[in-house]
Amino acid sequence: MWNDPIIEELHKIRANRSAEFNHDLRLMANALKSLEQEWLSKHPELDYRLLSNAKMFAINK
């Protein structure tokens, strides 16, 4: 089987990132939620949860 160096690098990155959280999916999810909250506090105008359906449809058109 042919080895793709890009795929191998992605696997290494994924393994390293997983090891940072002791391979605990809950810890990874909590870290992601924290990053999301931090980003949304810096960019509240882009918080998709505050957009009404009408605004969302207007953006997509």
Collapsing DSSP to helix, strand or coil, 22 comes out as coil
Task: Tell me how far apart the alpha carbons of residues 16 and 22 are, in angstroms, rounded to a whole number.
Answer: 10
At 50 the pLDDT is 66
Tell me the residue range of the domain where 32 lies. 5-60
At 25 the pLDDT is 96
What token pair was written down for 3? 């080895």
Task: Tell me how far apart the alpha carbons of residues 28 and 18 are, in angstroms, rounded to a whole number.
Answer: 8
* pTM summary value: 0.59
Q: State the average pLDDT over residues 29-57.
A: 78
pLDDT over threshold 60, residue 23? yes
Cα separations (Å) of 51 from 6, 8, 48? 38, 40, 5
Query: What is the domain count for the chain?
Result: 1
